[in-house]
Amino acid sequence: MSKPRVYITREIPSVGLELIKKYFEVEVWPEYWAPPREILLEKVKNIDGLVSLLTDKIDAELLDKAKNLKIISQYAVGYDNIDLSYATKKGVYVTNTPGVLTDSTADLTFALILAITRRIVEADKFVRDGSWERSRTGWHPLMLLGMELKGKTLGIIGMGRIGRAVAQRALGFEMNILYYDVNKLPPEEEKRLNAQYASLEELLEKSDVVSIHTDLNKSTYHLINEERLKRMKKTAYIINVARGPIIDTQALVKALKEGWIAGAGLDVFESEPLPSNHELTKLNNVVIVPHIGSATHEARNGMAMKVATNLIEFLNGRVPPDLVNK
């Protein structure tokens, strides 16, 4: 009997790929960049399973062409690239990869917090471009001063797995934690994390660092807009490792240029890849990295294993563990 067919839109770590190959007939898009739309629309015509990335648009047009498709195993925790309600209507299972990238993303959040508050990128440039040498002093009381974290308030927007892992790290830095989420944490968890619930407005007004960890949906699109950026302290920083469209980029550029806030650490953007001549790249008070929240060997291997497990469990007639359209 022939094996069911799976199309994978990019090479994934071999631990997962080899496992998938044991059970499925697999085709992998061979390039570094995403398969062009026409190719993807052609490839999905004859497959049972699809391994997609956040860069693949899985909409009604694609789902209508994928007549045999039974499962989409997304290689990410976020799945805002997939028309979930249409997939559900068509009876297509959708799974994701929660849990395994929590720590990597929380680590990157802290890397960005420290990089922007301690001006690490600016300081590195200062050495490399000769500014330090030209200053003719090895040390100066006023050189590259930043902000200390101890005793400062971290405002976490979205207190899911990643938000809580960020709070856990903030405890080590002796920060105070405010959080905003549609769901309040149980009192024991608030106590464990020393986190206090706040309205979004209160969080923005009181925090020294605001960090975004919510998913992208209709209610979080441009959640951080001009009005909300103006509510933040002039000395505060904003960090986004969630999804670019949660912040209105034009409003953020204005806020950074006009000093409504002190700086930003960004891993995600409204349009990716971010063009190298984008206005954000011209600003010193921003640290920019290219959507690498989950970019560790541990997380990406874990994601590959989850993608494989979800497909295999489905094939064996069981409910995939990370089904999102239950």
Enzyme catalytic residues: 243, 272, 291
> Tokens at residue 209, please?
């660092």
Written as one string, the DSSP assignment of 182-246 is: SSPPPHHHHHHHTEEE--HHHHHHH-SEEEE-PPPSTTTTT-B-HHHHHHS-TT-EEEE-S-GGG
Could you give the CA distance from residue 100 to residue 305 in angstroms, rounded to a whole number?
A: 10
Could you give the CA distance from residue 302 to residue 86 in angstroms, rounded to a whole number?
A: 28
State yes or no: residue 265 binds ligand DGY (CB under 6 A): no
What size, in residues, is the chain?
Answer: 326
State yes or no: residue 98 binds ligand DGY (CB under 6 A): no
State yes or no: residue 94 binds ligand DGY (CB under 6 A): no
Q: How many residues bind ligand DGY (CB under 6 A)?
A: 7
State yes or no: residue 185 binds ligand DGY (CB under 6 A): no
How does strand 153-157 pair with strand 25-28? Answer: unpaired
Question: Pattern 68-87, binding to ligand DGY, x per CB under 6 A?
Answer: --------xxx---------
Distance of CA 125 to the CA centre of its chain: 26
State yes or no: residue 293 binds ligand DGY (CB under 6 A): yes
Of residues 294, 314, 320, 322, which one binds ligand DGY by CB under 6 A? 294
Q: What minimum distance in Å lies between the beta carbon of 158 and ligand DGY?
A: 13
Q: What minimum distance in Å lies between the beta carbon of 105 and ligand DGY?
A: 7
Q: What minimum distance in Å lies between the beta carbon of 77 and ligand DGY?
A: 4
Q: What minimum distance in Å lies between the beta carbon of 98 and ligand DGY?
A: 9
State yes or no: residue 54 binds ligand DGY (CB under 6 A): yes
Of residues 44, 47, 63, 101, which one binds ligand DGY by CB under 6 A? 101
Q: Do residues 254 and 231 lie in contact, with contact meaning Cβ atoms separated by under 8 Å? A: no
State yes or no: residue 95 binds ligand DGY (CB under 6 A): no
State yes or no: residue 153 binds ligand DGY (CB under 6 A): no
Could you give the CA distance from residue 70 to residue 82 in angstroms, rounded to a whole number?
A: 14
> Which helix or strand (DSSP H or E) is residue 153 part of?
strand 153-157
Q: What residues line the site for ligand DGY (CB under 6 A)?
A: 54, 76-78, 101, 293-294
